[in-house]
Amino acid sequence: MERRQRGVSPGLILLLYQISQVGLQNIPSVTLGVLALNIFLFLNPLRPLPEVCLSVSEALHRRNWHRLLLAPFHHADDWHLYYNMISMLWKGIMLERKLKSIWFAYTIAVFSVLIGVVYMVLELLLVIILDDPSYEMNCGVGFSGVLFALKVLNNHYNPGRVSTVFGLPISSKYACWVELVAIHLISPGTSFAGHLAGILVGLMYTMGPLKKIMQYFIHDCSIKLSMIQCLYSGELFVQMCMYSLEVLSQFGHSL
């Protein structure tokens, strides 16, 4: 993967224009933060693209796990950034208002890493099924996997809507799958496995156990933080009793 050329970036200019048309005051905080982070890393990449892109060979075999964190927030060129961030702008506005900012930020963070893991699993399956080790070398960057996952969530929270995919009206129930195939046919160089990983993670959240696991993790962390706070304030026993009563009360209501 070659690093983009420096110079005028029409895609970036158009993106900034679109954001200004929407108005910063109309963009929720987490969505705006994600846009700003991606734009900043496009202008000031932490490392050259070959050193941040995600592949089985680099992340798994060579244990460069930092690529799981860096790859989603780096883009190959200005138009790659433009299309992803425009999609993020509209999906973020809708979903952040629905999920609230803290949970939306948590979801973005989990999706960003988990999609990379699922992507590598899919590439490994292709290596095994097709007996082609070249899939281990496929190295991808970009936020599109997360966007596919967010599209699944958006369709889940807005059932019955009709989406337009390349000018064709498609039921939102099938829009992700149609868009997955259409993008791959129109732009064969895009990461089919990366986009599919996004859809699968979105389904794990809406139809699988992922949301409950995330809720449990947050609940568990909040308990530990409360205990630490109590230790410093000298109220551990009282707080433990209150928590025990709360748990027992919830258990009683569930019977």
Mind telling me the catalytic residues? 144, 195
Q: Of 179, 187, 18, whose CA–CA distance to 86 is shortest? A: 18
SS3 category, 231: helix
Which sign, positive or negative, has the C-alpha torsion 116, 122, 127, 128?
positive
Q: What is the Cα–Cα distance from 137 to 148, expressed in whole angstroms?
A: 23
The answer to whether 123 and 55 have CB atoms below 8 angstroms apart is yes
The answer to whether 38 and 73 have CB atoms below 8 angstroms apart is yes
DSSP 61: I
- Residue 202: C-alpha distances to residues 39, 142, 255 (Å): 24, 17, 32
